[in-house]
């Protein structure tokens, strides 16, 4: 597998020439955006937090540290590990831009995914 450069961006930010593969990592489509506006390579719902965990963070006031712990546990399941591996393989040797509608970006799933994807990842949000 080739080296990856991974970065995170908000789905509402305009595409950039240095985005490489653009992968939406939310379970829900970003409100107010048409599908052609995102210029996506893929929409990877399998690596997104579960609906229950997303609701706990955004609607029930779950602390981000607890969200991160639970999300890492989700990704450590067989299905989560398989989803991460599929994303690694799809992005092999490319720049990978993980997109989310979450604001602020640093309190989203993106930093956790960047940490869990291959070592040597650059471009933490």
At 74 the pLDDT is 96
81 phi and psi, to 5 degrees? -65, -40
pTM for the full model? Answer: 0.87
pLDDT tens profile 25-51: 999 999 999 988 888 999 999 999 999
Q: What are the average pLDDT values for consecutive 10-residue runs of the chain, which has 125 residues? A: 80 93 95 90 94 93 96 94 89 89 94 79 38
22 phi and psi, to 5 degrees? -105, 115
């Amino acid at each position: 597998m080739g080296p990856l450069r991974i970065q995170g961006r908000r789905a509402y930010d305009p595409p950039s020439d240095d985005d490489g593969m653009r992968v939406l990592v939310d379970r829900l489509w970003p409100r107010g955006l048409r599908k052609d506006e995102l210029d996506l390579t893929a929409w990877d719902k399998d690596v997104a937090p579960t609906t229950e965990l997303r609701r706990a963070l955004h609607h029930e006031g779950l602390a981000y540290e607890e969200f991160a712990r639970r999300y890492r546990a989700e990704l450590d399941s067989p299905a989560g590990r398989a989803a991460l591996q599929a994303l690694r393989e799809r992005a092999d040797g490319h720049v990978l831009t993980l997109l989310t509608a979450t604001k602020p970006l640093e309190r989203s799933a993106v930093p956790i995914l960047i940490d869990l994807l291959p070592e040597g990842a650059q471009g933490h949000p």
